[in-house]
Structure 1
Amino acid sequence: MALPSVSTQIQLVARPQGWPVDGDFRMTTVELAEPGPGQVRVVNEYISVDPYMRGRMNDVKSYVPPFALGETMTGGAVGRVVASTVDALKVGDVVVHQLGWRDVAQGDAAQFRVVPEVAGVPVSANLGVLGMTALTAYVGLLEVAQMVPGDTVFVSGAAGAVGSMVGQIARLKGAARVIGSAGSDAKVALLTGRYGFDTAFNYKSGPVTDQLAAAAPDGIDVYFDNVGGDHLEAAIATLNDGGRAALCGAIAQYNSTDAPVGPRNMANIVGRGLMLKGFIVGTYLQHYPAFAAEMAGWLAAGEVVFDETVVDGIEHAVDAFGSLMRGANTGKMLVQIARPS
């Protein structure tokens, strides 16, 4: 098979105002030079689209630089080496890297990490249950929120890639009760029927504070926040004395053009001795070996399940991102670029 020499890539050409639209992006092709010394070429099999990418489309200071206008965006991807000039990366190796939003990636070998192929587990799992997504759930729950056996845990956005992992890890780590919120009755049924949540509610069915109070009459001890807004306010109202919250995301306000409305009950933080801590998974990478060992065991024992929503083709990557931001995914949202070998 001929070595692919053209890369189809998605670039950001305008800063979105509110919800991203097609005109904010363009698809282009780039001719690739022969890999130089220390470089590899990879055909991506899957790329990840994630909520944090919406923040990078804005020109604001954050923990990671914004996407540059007119340049190809980046993000998690998994693919297979098709050309290499280094001994450590061989043709055929499966690798994970951050050169997503393109079908063929080329760069220095240090940008790519070889991952083993596990029988019965798709390579796409390296972007979800075996990758940064589930690591985010693991460290946020156990290191940031410091969950201990017997805690009652509430997870917002619980049917998403991170949230569904948080709920399952909480159960495996001995939570007394795990509560989730999701945006449809079908997802609520999935939380209790597939992911092992004790109870869940549809946040569109009524005020979140009221629904959470009904689901947790004795309060909650830990909150894992993927949503912000009314969910954060509800959690602050329901957290018991000494409760802890890991703030992972605030998808409710990512596309808003209005100033966000903060929780109106911040005094509870003082009166109840609450701890609210935001975190970025990249500062907790030292926990990856422990996470990887535990997750591998849970998967092998059938104690963790995962779902993927897969959109086909690099030309549909922007559509996949828009669907993700509107909550159309169950589990990890991926774009399939090349058929797995």
Structure 2
Amino acid sequence: MPSMTGGRRITWTRLPATVADAIGALLGGRVVEAVSQPGGFSEGLAARVRTDGGRRAFVKAASWSAAPVTALFHRREIDVSRRLPAVAPVPRLLDTYDDGAWVALLFEEIDGALPAQPWRPDEFDQVLAAAADLAPLLAPSPVAAAVLGPPRLGGWAAVAGEGATGRLASLSPWAARHLDELAAIEQLAGRALAGDTLLHGDMYPFNVMLTAERVYFIDWPHAWLGAAGCDVLTLLSSASLSGLDPQPFAVRHPLTRHLAPEQIDAFLAAHSGFLLRLATTVEPDADRNFLRMITELGMASLRWLQRRRGASGDRGTG
């Protein structure tokens, strides 16, 4: 697994004084300690903070002018987090701040850490079990579709039109040779993955927090509605980066073992298509950590799809 933290985080001292003071006031004091945290790729602040009165929280903040995409995701995460049920294993949203220039989310502090990478077997099993328990809590979805963004799936059909075939071939000659086939498979995703479960939409190790008692799923701006097993497929698709074969887990897991082969293939095609299209079209000055992560995750999903479909004579990404 590449670095699980983006390279464009800012520190608490970079916040305008008015924003820092407002966040402190929402917490009932003045922030006297702020420690940046690992995990995730959003631009802006991601820090555990402590006030002069001893209150603690986790704060995310972004500038609408410097990081408009992140700010938009933060605003969407506010809308989703407000609607998540109290029984769900997610951090509780304490308060928000949005003055039109900066947006911030204040969450309860979770006394935990990201899972080890490569995966430890016990932690991987623990997170998979928690994902199985999460899905029934979010079906039918407590969040209306109008609040959510579109699923981050699909991209093969757009690669050729964007002139990115050459860059794709440098990552996966196999994908470049089978672009039409991949585009055809991903077109099935909309129907194959339909459902009424609220999905996290980005269930990777950098969006999981482990405590001594519980698994928490953090960062919900990319939530969408679909079949209950999709989050587990996302998590499993990255498992090969830890040397694990995702297929046996998919066969056993209660949210994926009933899925038809066509459903899993459609997800993997659409999932890898989204990531590798992004990897082949990002701007030259993109965050290197982010680019490496989406490339590795996209290739991991693509390799699983290749193995599932046999890919005889074309086995491997080369």
TM-score (norm: length of structure 2) = 0.28
Structure with higher RCO (Cα < 8 A, 6+ apart): 2
Hey, which of these two has a bigger chunk of strand by percent?
Answer: 1
TM-score (norm: length of structure 1) = 0.26
Hey, which of these two has a bigger chunk of helix by percent?
Answer: 2
